[in-house]
Structures are given as structure tokens and as C-alpha cells.
């Protein structure tokens, strides 16, 4: 779908061409043309003074059926024996959403040989019901089986909201679930809320992180969103009571075209980065890859992980698994040190929820200082070695 052009009203003023952020409008001989690059953002429609542009109408959908959907669901991601932290974060947020709507909160747990403790843990983070689907075919993740099972459950139980983590697993199969259910999906949300009329308000960065867009899905159910790990805060409720419900699914849902031969644990820094309590990140200010040794030494001293800006990764100084930001990893450690990082909005989106942010940059006007708890205006090649030396002295190393 793309924006519509009323050729009788178009004057070829070309204002819409200049305003389109996706270069989706080209000038023809007698009128403009909208290409497939159009994302229906609506900026051209708002700009056109002649009313020559409009957005296609979205079908009203099965309005009579919307009332049949009730409840908030969280897909609880289970990996090789443990529930991913993002599931706890989403349950805590889901609890707030469910209470605002006055509806129950449920978690969906898929896998094999699932422990009772894993299910009870989900209850402790706010779930009123935990639907457990335990089959040998679900022992290892596969797009088709996980999607088919979740679609089957949604069609049977009809939740009004479905949340999942924007992890490698969530990114892989949740869009398939949304497509099968003919509903919308907002990816990488940074905030979720309920509107006065009961709609899920899904807020996420847009236009390279320069705008925060709030998206709604008024005509389809369930309303679906994914959230990156570390964006929401987990809140355990040890006294919360809930039930664990084993669920059976049709055999057809368990048939897969994928055969998992072996599961190899991650050996890079990706997992460590998202779970680290302290992170030291380096940017283009380091000037060359060899200088990341300073970042690595400091991170090791404070028992933290090594992060990097997109610029440092694009220069090839460090592996992409270390990248923090909108196109990398979203982190929220207790301590985040940004060394030689100017602070582009794309980077800030991925780390600004850290508890304490320390910025080291010789440019006092660098945007990173706008979000920093403590700022050090200094040459990093003088400050970081001195800081490392001081830490060693304090420890008697």
C-alpha cells in the first residue's frame, strides 16, 4: 500500500518531493508518482496545500468481534532451560497494562521438559495464568512450529494484547504470527500504555531516532508489540498468586520443515553486553582499533563488558556484537561509561536508561553530556590511563 494521488488536483509544485523522508515521490510528466518505497508516514499528505494526496483507508475490520478479545499475553521466551530476562520485564509491564484494562495477564511458555519452577517464576512476575505447551518438537526453536502453536493459542483464547521480546527469537517468528493473524505489529517499542478508550499505545523511535512515534491498532486483534531487552524494568511480586495450565495443541502445529542438528552457545560478547551491570563503550574518539585495549582494560578492572558506538563498528575496529544503540543492543546497566563517543541520537536511544552515565569527551558541547550523570571534559588518552592507574593504586595492584 502507498499514498494516493488525485491527478486532477496535483499542480506539480514538488513540495511533497522535498518533504518525503524516504524519497518515495518522483515527478512525472503531468503528475507525481508514488513508488513502492512509500511507508504511509503521511508527511506528504500534511504538506500538500491542494489536497492532491491522501492515505488509503484501512478497512474497519471485524468490529463486532473485537469485544470477544480480552486479556494481556506475554510470550515467555525459554532458551535451553531458562526463561529470558526480557519475559520478566514484559510481565511487569503487562501487569500494569492489564490492571488498567481490568483484564487478566497471562504468559505463554513453549518448550520441552519445562520445569515447574520456570512457570511459577512467571507467576511471581505478575502472570495470573501461565499456559504451558510442552512437546519434544518444541525443545529447540523453529520459526514455523513456534508460530503455528502461538497462532493456535491466540485463535482459541483471543487475547487483546500480545507482547514479546525483540530478541533474535522474537524478531524471527513474531512477525510471522502477526501476519497469520492478519493484525498489526509494532517492533522495538520503548514505551507501552493504555489510552482512554482502551487501545494499546505503542511508542517507538522513528526517522532514525529523531522522532518518537506512538502507534495504535484500532481495527484488529490482538494488538501486538515487541520490546527490546533492558528497556522495561522487571518487578517481582513474590506473593502474587496464579495458575499453571498445561495446553495441548493439534499435531499439525508441531510439524516443521526445519531440523535442528546442533545448538552452539554464544561465545561473543552479545549476551554479556545485554546482561552486564557495568559497560565501558568506545567510539570514534579512540582513533584506531588498537586503542580499544584501553577500553578492554578498564572494563576488566570494573568487571564490566565492552561496548561500542556504531561509528567504531563501521570502522571495523570491533565486532558488531559490541554495538550499543538503535541498530545495535539496548542496554541498561548500573554504570555506563561512554569514552570518545559524541552521542548521536541513535546511540543515546540504546543506553540512556542506564542508572549512572559517565561521559569522557574533549568536546564540551558533545550531545553525550546532555544525558550524562557525570561528565569529564578531557583527552581520553590522558584521562583513561590515569583513571586505570588510580583504580589499581586503590586496590593495591
Q: Which residues, 6 or more positions from 112, have their beta carbon under 8 angstroms from its beta carbon? A: 134, 135, 136, 137, 138, 139
DSSP 323-385: BBSTTSB----SEEEEES----HHHHHHHTT-SEEEEEES-TT-GGGGT-SEEEES-HHHHHH
Closest CA to 281 of 190, 202, 384: 384
For 94-130, how does the pLDDT look when each residue is reduced to its tens digit (9 = 90+)?
999 999 999 999 999 999 888 888 888 899 998 999 9
pLDDT at 266: 60
The whole-angstrom separation of Cα 298 and Cα 292 is 10
Q: Which residues, 6 or more positions from 342, have their beta carbon under 8 angstroms from its beta carbon? A: 283, 284, 285, 361, 363, 366, 367, 368
pTM: 0.68
The whole-angstrom separation of Cα 226 and Cα 134 is 23
CATH number of 63-254: 3.40.50.620
SS3 237: coil
Residue 150 corresponds to which cell in the numbers above? 502461538
Q: Name the CATH code of domain 270-395 (choices 3.10.20.90, 3.40.50.1220, 3.40.50.300, 3.40.50.1240).
A: 3.40.50.1220
Closest CA to 311 of 299, 298, 324: 324
The whole-angstrom separation of Cα 75 and Cα 303 is 32
Residues of the chain with CATH 3.40.50.1220: 270-395
pLDDT at 12: 87
Cα R_g (the chain), whole angstroms: 24
Does the bond joining 222 to the residue before it have cis omega, within 30 degrees of 0?
A: yes
For 236-293, how does the pLDDT look when each residue is reduced to its tens digit (9 = 90+)?
888 889 999 999 999 899 988 888 887 776 654 545 787 788 999 999 999 999 999 9
Residues of the chain with CATH 3.40.50.620: 63-254
pLDDT at 208: 59
CA atoms within 13 Å, Cβ hemisphere of 181 = 30
- Inter-CA distances, 173 with 60, 80, 145, 166, 244, Å: 26, 18, 9, 10, 24
pLDDT at 60: 42
The class that CATH gives domain 4-54 is: alpha beta
pLDDT at 209: 59
pLDDT at 64: 41
Q: Is the pLDDT of residue 361 over 90?
A: yes
Instruction: Read off the pLDDT of each residue in 23-27 and give the average, rounded to a whole number.
Output: 88
Residues of the chain with CATH 3.30.70.20: 4-54
Amino acid at each position: 500500500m502507498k499514498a494516493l494521488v488525485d491527478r486532477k488536483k496535483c499542480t506539480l509544485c514538488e513540495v511533497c518531493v522535498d518533504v518525503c523522508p524516504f524519497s518515495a515521490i518522483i515527478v512525472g510528466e503531468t503528475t507525481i508518482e508514488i513508488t513502492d518505497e512509500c511507508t504511509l508516514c503521511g508527511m506528504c499528505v500534511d504538506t500538500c496545500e491542494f489536497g492532491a494526496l491522501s492515505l488509503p483507508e484501512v478497512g474497519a475490520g471485524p468490529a463486532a468481534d473485537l469485544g470477544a478479545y480480552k486479556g494481556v499475553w506475554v510470550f515467555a521466551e525459554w532458551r535451553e532451560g531458562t526463561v529470558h530476562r526480557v519475559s520478566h520485564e514484559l510481565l511487569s509491564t503487562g501487569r500494569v497494562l492489564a490492571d488498567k484494562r481490568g483484564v487478566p495477564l497471562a504468559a505463554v511458555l513453549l518448550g520441552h521438559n519445562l520445569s515447574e519452577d520456570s512457570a511459577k517464576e512467571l507467576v511471581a512476575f505478575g502472570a495470573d495464568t501461565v499456559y504451558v505447551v510442552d512437546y519434544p518438537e518444541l525443545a529447540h526453536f523453529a520459526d514455523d512450529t513456534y508460530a503455528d502453536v502461538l497462532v493456535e493459542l491466540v485463535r482459541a483464547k483471543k487475547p487483546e494484547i500480545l507482547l514479546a521480546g525483540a530478541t533474535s527469537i522474537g524478531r524471527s517468528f513474531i512477525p510471522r504470527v502477526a501476519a497469520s493473524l492478519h493484525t498489526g505489529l509494532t517492533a522495538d517499542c520503548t514505551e507501552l500504555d493504555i489510552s482512554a478508550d482502551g487501545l494499546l499505545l505503542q511508542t517507538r523511535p522513528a526517522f532514525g531516532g529523531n522522532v518518537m512515534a506512538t502507534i495504535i491498532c484500532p481495527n484488529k486483534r490482538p494488538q501486538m508489540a515487541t520490546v527490546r531487552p533492558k528497556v522495561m524494568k522487571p518487578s517481582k511480586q513474590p506473593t502474587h498468586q496464579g495458575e499453571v495450565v498445561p495446553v495441548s495443541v493439534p499435531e499439525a502445529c508441531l510439524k516443521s520443515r526445519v531440523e535442528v542438528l546442533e545448538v552452539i552457545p554464544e561465545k561473543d560478547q552479545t549476551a554479556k553486553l545485554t546482561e552486564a551491570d557495568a559497560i565501558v563503550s568506545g567510539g570514534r574518539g579512540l582513533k584506531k582499533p588498537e586503542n580499544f585495549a584501553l577500553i578492554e582494560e578498564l572494563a576488566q578492572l570494573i568487571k564490566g563488558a565492552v561496548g561500542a558506538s556504531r561509528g567504531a563498528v563501521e570502522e571495523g575496529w570491533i565486532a558488531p556484537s559490541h554495538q550499543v544503540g538503535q541498530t545495535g543492543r539496548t542496554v541498561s546497566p548500573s554504570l555506563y561509561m561512554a569514552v570518545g563517543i559524541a552521542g548521536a541520537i541513535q546511540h543515546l536511544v540504546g543506553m540512556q536508561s542506564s542508572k549512572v552515565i559517565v561521559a569522557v569527551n574533549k568536546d564540551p558541547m558533545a550531545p553525550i553530556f546532555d544525558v550524562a550523570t557525570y561528565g569529564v571534559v578531557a583527552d581520553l588518552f590522558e584521562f583513561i590511563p590515569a583513571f586505570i592507574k588510580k583504580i589499581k593504586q586503590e586496590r593495591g595492584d
